[in-house]
């Protein structure tokens, strides 16, 4: 029998798979996400007419670091810097359209936090000084432009423009990305970060409304009073609050209980609502996406997270659901370190 180098290579690969059964030729979830939603360094939100926003860019930057993917990180950061970091400060215009370019020069604070945190993590992983320099610049701009002192303490404006009104401050508690705040307090030391963290934890404890004592997606803070606004729902935004509490290692039985009570009441039922009206208790009649259900599963399992079963990753359910699924898994990975 004549020796065939191609056959020898096939035998070698077969042997490797036998020795390492965990290896797979299927794309990783990160690869699936990239092929579905990232093009030339731009994360495409297909549910919103193909726009790109800072939330998506920041989340993808974090996942690139987590997956040790410096090439994709560089593409994402270069696109973000060239197309979104176009304000007078170091914050980012939050929305970009393939048809018209920048849609809105205002920033989105959660996107800014994601990007600064990702740059800080990238420096630590790959020892690239330009990422550290950029992280500090963005972090300082967040502190200078977006933090406000109130009777409740230091709060984070969702954007630099439009959230300070005569009737009070419009706030979003899901913008308190606690693991990012902790990281940036080391990268860009300032007592403002601890003040911001403490105020966020206090507001989460106080913002309990409706039958389930849940926080709203949006709330108004006037003087010392907080009230739900903009539909008075727990849903699309506030679903991230328990994720960031657990990820930031700041969750307590008290802060997690309302979420566990709500999601636990639907265990074993065919539908896990994507939202609930905090005023009248009406819940959504359609099933929450896999990303929402991943956060719910982790929250219900807390604090015993070792053998948690998460829904299968399903990029077809949209960019936001995919991001929440990947962030939940990233949380579990980080907590094991």
Catalytic residue at 206? Answer: no
Catalytic residue at 55? Answer: yes
Tokens representing residue 278 in the block? 């905090």
CA 297 to mean position of chain CA atoms = 17
Q: Which of 29, 55, 112, 237 is catalytic?
A: 55
Tokens representing residue 82 in the block? 């060239």
The three-state (H, E, C) secondary structure of 20-81, written as one string:
CCCCCCCCCHHHHHHHHHEECCEECEHHHCCEEEHHHHHHHHHHHHHCCCHHHHHHHHHHHH
> Among 99, 90, 92, which Cα is nearest to 55's?
92
The Cα 85–Cα 4 span in angstroms is 55
Tokens representing residue 186 in the block? 């080391």
In this structure, the chain runs to a length of 337
Q: How many Å is the Cα radius of gyration of the chain? A: 21
Q: Which of 110, 183, 217, 237 is catalytic?
A: 110
The Cα 144–Cα 241 span in angstroms is 24
Could you tell me if 234 and 275 are in contact, meaning their C-beta atoms sit under 8 angstroms apart?
yes
The Cα 47–Cα 53 span in angstroms is 12
The Cα 287–Cα 90 span in angstroms is 39
For the beta carbon of residue 137, count every other beta carbon within 10 angstroms: 17
Antiparallel, parallel or unpaired: β 52-53 and 164-165? unpaired
> Among 337, 336, 317, 334, which Cα is nearest to 33's?
317
Active site residues: 55, 110
């Amino acid at each position: 029998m004549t020796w065939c180098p191609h056959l020898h290579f096939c035998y070698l690969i077969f042997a490797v798979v036998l020795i390492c059964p965990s290896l797979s030729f299927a794309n990783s979830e990160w690869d699936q996400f990239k092929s579905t939603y990232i093009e030339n360094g731009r994360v495409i939100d297909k549910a919103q007419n193909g726009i790109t926003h800072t939330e998506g860019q920041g989340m993808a930057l974090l996942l690139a670091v987590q997956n040790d993917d410096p090439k994709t990180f560089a593409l994402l950061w270069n696109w973000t810097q060239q197309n979104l970091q176009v304000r007078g400060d170091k914050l980012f215009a939050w929305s970009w359209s393939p048809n018209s370019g920048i849609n809105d020069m205002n920033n989105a604070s959660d996107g800014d936090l994601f990007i600064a945190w990702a740059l800080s993590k990238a420096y630590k992983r790959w020892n690239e000084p330009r990422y550290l320099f950029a992280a500090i610049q963005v972090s300082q701009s967040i502190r200078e432009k977006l933090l406000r002192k109130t009777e409740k303490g230091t709060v984070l404006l969702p954007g630099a423009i439009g959230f300070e009104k005569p009737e009070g401050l419009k706030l979003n508690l899901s913008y308190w990305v606690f693991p990012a705040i902790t990281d940036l307090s080391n990268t860009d030391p300032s007592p403002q970060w601890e003040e911001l963290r403490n105020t966020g934890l206090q507001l989460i404890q106080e913002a309990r409304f409706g039958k389930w004592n849940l926080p709203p997606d949006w709330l108004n803070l006037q003087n010392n009073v907080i009230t739900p606004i903009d539909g008075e729902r727990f849903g699309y935004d506030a679903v991230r609050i328990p994720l960031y509490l657990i990820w930031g290692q700041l969750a307590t039985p008290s802060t997690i209980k309302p979420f566990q009570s709500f999601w636990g009441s639907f265990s074993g039922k065919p539908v896990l609502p994507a939202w609930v009206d905090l005023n009248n208790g009406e819940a959504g009649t359609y099933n929450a996406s896999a990303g929402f259900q991943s956060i719910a599963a982790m929250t219900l399992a807390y604090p015993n997270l070792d053998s948690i079963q998460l829904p299968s990753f399903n990029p077809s359910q949209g960019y936001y659901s995919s991001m929440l699924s990947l962030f939940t898994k990233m949380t579990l990975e980080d907590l094991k370190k």
